[in-house]
Amino acid sequence: MLYTFGTVLEDKNSYPFIFLYAGDDFYYLAKILTKDRTEELERKYSECSWDPKRGRLPVFDFVILRKTKEYEGRGASFSDPATSFIDGFSYIPTEINKEDLKQIKDEILASNSAPLELQDGIKDINF
């Protein structure tokens, strides 16, 4: 199956991911976080967001899904997006809302730590 930006996948441990891009050597995915993990990251971010260096750490490369019913209020983290295989992943017939996808794209393009291959690969995606 050919995956495109926004396709939802699930790994063998039933963790959901959003497919971002297929690069030359890696696939790039955003992990959909639990609500608890999302709240924890939001709290930590608010504690250090006043410091531009700490507020842009890779751990804070995530967005909150606000328009996608199935994952509303959960973070989509792209702090460690690269994987060399997706053979064990399963397709999930869930559609990520276009506003959430646009927010993910915009955050990746604004990130100082997102891989350049990923940024280049998604920059021309339109919604």
In one-letter notation, the amino acid at residue 73 is G
Per-residue pLDDT tens digits for 72-120: 999 999 988 789 889 889 999 999 999 999 999 999 999 988 999 999 9
Please report, for the chain, the start and end positions of each structural domain, with discontinuous segments joined by +.
Answer: 7-122
Higher pLDDT, 27 or 85: 27
Supply the pLDDT for residue 89: 94
Alpha helices in the chain (DSSP H): 35-48, 52-55, 98-110, 116-122
- Closest by CA position to 65, among listed 78, 80, 54: 78
For residues 66 and 45, give the distance between their C-alpha atoms in angstroms, rounded to a whole number.
Answer: 18
- Global pTM reads 0.89
